[in-house]
């Protein structure tokens, strides 16, 4: 018998009475929004949804029409839930206040509505990453940013949806990682990857080697070491340019994904709150590790909503060697 996402989450939460009903209800917002987004992604190129929107987002990047559609869809679906106090998105400069002052508001939601925008128009895998945080302790300031600027260990749930050769939802509420594949014939997410454990060692590294002369030497030397057999295996390279897709492969097949700082992005290119944090939460829950080059991503203290970070995420063997290598170099 097939297990749908809905059934799985009911069972999961029954086992963990400390996880309240509202969290289930929030996960159902992810389901609804991702089904709407994937329907547009699947039709991209047919309707008028390809291409740019002639608007610049908060990072000075050109927004694609699908970025805008995905963002609006997620905001709408989450705003319907009374338990959502504040939302932050890659596409909005400031936090969006939803039901913050309601006594029912318990959660902050943070997301990258579409990751891998440069791949939209060429029909390559893209995704959505999300992170759910418990509201902060009540303070005098009670500013919307207080809800958002919380360390990754405060995440109560996180995950992503991949729009690839199939649509896959991967999530964790802090009790392992589970993956569901959308069965388009019935429109339901069906459990396809129960209790995902990242292989201790893989044989792929994922690193944009075009930037070799821009990345710090030690990262390039680390990758060279792996290529030369430092981990006792032959490694091959894969780089899609959608972090979420590169991570998904790393989660299932093992290996390492690396995006360090560059002169153009001195703090790294990826965003801490809605890209690195959910990925790090999933990685740790699956037995892997994620680092900003010096400390675990989940320990980084966020100071800004759109803060960037270097990201290195992978299996135990590659990450142990990474830490050892960084200490020596
Ligand atoms: P986004 O589309 O949300 O702006 O994110 C794109 C990110 C990430 O997905 C990917 O790993 C990285 O940009 C690729 O950057 P480069 O093209 O510089 O390698
Ligand atoms: Mn992104
Ligand atoms: Mn994005």
Look at residue 62 in the predicted model and tell me its pLDDT.
65
The percentage of residues in the chain with a pLDDT greater than 70, rounded to a whole number, is 95
Residue nearest to atom 16 of ligand 1 (CA): 241
112 CB near ligand 1 (under 6 Å): yes
Look at residue 16 in the predicted model and tell me its pLDDT.
74
248 CB near ligand 1 (under 6 Å): no
Of the candidates 23, 1, 2, which has an alpha carbon nearest to the alpha carbon of residue 10? Answer: 23
Look at residue 56 in the predicted model and tell me its pLDDT.
72
Encode pLDDT of 98-139 as tens digits: 999 999 999 999 999 999 999 998 999 999 999 999 999 877
Look at residue 206 in the predicted model and tell me its pLDDT.
98
Q: Ligand 1: distance of its center to the CA of 60 in Å?
A: 14
Mutate to test the pocket of ligand 1, among 128, 259, 265 (most ligand atoms within 8 A of CB): 259
Q: What are phi and psi of 63, to 5 degrees?
A: -85, 135
Ligand nearest to the CA of 265: 1
The percentage of residues in the chain with a pLDDT greater than 90, rounded to a whole number, is 83
Q: Is the pLDDT of residue 228 over 90?
A: yes
d(CA 260, CA 10): 39
Look at residue 60 in the predicted model and tell me its pLDDT.
66
Mean pLDDT across the chain: 94
Token code pair at residue 321? 């060697």
The helix-helix angle for 316-328 and 217-227 (nearest 10°) equals 130
d(CA 68, CA 32): 17
Burial class, 230, CB count within 10 angstroms (exposed 0-12 / middle 13-18 / buried 19+): middle
Q: Ligand 3: distance of its center to the CA of 67 in Å?
A: 7
Domains of the chain: 5-193 (3.30.540.10), 204-328 (3.40.190.80)
Look at residue 11 in the predicted model and tell me its pLDDT.
86
Encode pLDDT of 34-88 as tens digits: 999 999 999 877 766 667 766 777 666 667 889 999 999 999 999 999 999 999 9
Encode pLDDT of 169-189 as tens digits: 999 999 999 999 999 999 999
Pairing mode, strands 308-309 and 270-271: antiparallel
Residue 119 Cα: closest atom of ligand 1: 2
**Average pLDDT, integer, range 142-156:** 95
Look at residue 43 in the predicted model and tell me its pLDDT.
87
262 CB near ligand 1 (under 6 Å): no
Say which DSSP state 95 is in.
P
162 CB near ligand 1 (under 6 Å): no
Residue 117 Cα: closest atom of ligand 1: 2
Rounded to an integer, what is the distance from CA 52 to the centroid of its chain?
A: 23
117 CB near ligand 1 (under 6 Å): yes
Q: Ligand 1: distance of its center to the CA of 14 in Å?
A: 38
Residue 246 Cα: closest atom of ligand 1: 11
269 CB near ligand 1 (under 6 Å): yes
């Amino acid at each position: 018998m097939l297990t749908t996402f809905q059934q799985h989450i009911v069972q999961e939460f029954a086992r963990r009475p400390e996880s309240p009903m509202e969290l289930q209800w929030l996960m159902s917002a992810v389901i609804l929004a991702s089904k709407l987004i994937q329907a547009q992604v699947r039709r991209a190129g047919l309707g008028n949804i390809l291409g740019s929107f002639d608007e610049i987002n908060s990072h000075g990047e050109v927004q694609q029409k699908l970025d805008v559609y995905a963002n609006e869809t997620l905001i709408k679906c989450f705003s319907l839930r009374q338990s959502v106090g504040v939302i932050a998105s890659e596409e909005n400069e400031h936090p969006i206040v939803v039901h913050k002052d309601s006594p029912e508001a318990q959660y902050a939601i943070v997301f990258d509505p579409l990751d891998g925008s440069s791949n939209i128009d060429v029909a390559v895998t893209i995704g959505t990453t999300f992170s759910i945080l418990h509201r902060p302790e009540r303070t005098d300031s009670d500013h919307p940013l207080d809800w958002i600027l919380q360390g990754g260990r405060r995440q109560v749930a996180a995950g992503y949806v991949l729009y690839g050769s199939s649509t896959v939802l991967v999530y964790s509420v802090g009790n392992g990682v589970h993956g569901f594949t959308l069965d388009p014939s019935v429109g339901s997410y069906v459990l396809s990857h129960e209790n995902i454990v990242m292989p201790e060692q893989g044989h792929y590294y994922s690193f944009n080697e075009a930037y070799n002369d821009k990345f710090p030497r030690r990262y390039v030397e680390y990758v060279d070491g792996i290529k030369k057999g430092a981990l006792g295996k032959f490694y091959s390279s894969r780089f899609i340019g959608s972090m979420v897709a590169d991570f998904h492969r790393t989660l299932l097949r093992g290996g390492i994904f690396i995006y360090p700082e560059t002169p153009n992005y001195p703090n790294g290119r990826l965003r801490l709150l809605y890209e690195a944090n959910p990925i790090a939460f999933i990685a740790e829950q699956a037995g892997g590790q994620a680092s900003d080059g010096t400390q675990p991503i989940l320990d980084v203290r966020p100071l800004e909503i759109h803060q960037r970070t270097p990201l290195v995420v992978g299996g135990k063997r590659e990450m142990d060697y990474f830490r050892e290598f960084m200490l020596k170099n």
